[in-house]
Amino acid sequence: MKIQVYGTNCAPCKLMLANTQEAARQLGLQDAVQHMTRIQDMLAAGITGTPALAIDGEIKVMGKALEIPAIVALLRLGNV
Average pLDDT of the chain, as a whole number: 94
Beta bridge partners of 6: 36, 52
- For residues 80 and 2, the model is more confident at 2
What structural domains does the chain harbor?
3-78 (3.40.30.10)
Contact (Cβ atoms closer than 8 angstroms) between residue 21 and residue 30: yes
Question: Which residues are within 8 A (CB) of 38 and not within 5 positions of it... i.e. 6 or more apart?
Answer: none
Listed residue (37, 46, 54) closest to 1, CA to CA: 54
Model confidence at 43, in pLDDT bands (50, 70, 90)? very high
Contact (Cβ atoms closer than 8 angstroms) between residue 31 and residue 69: no
Cite the active site residues: 10, 13
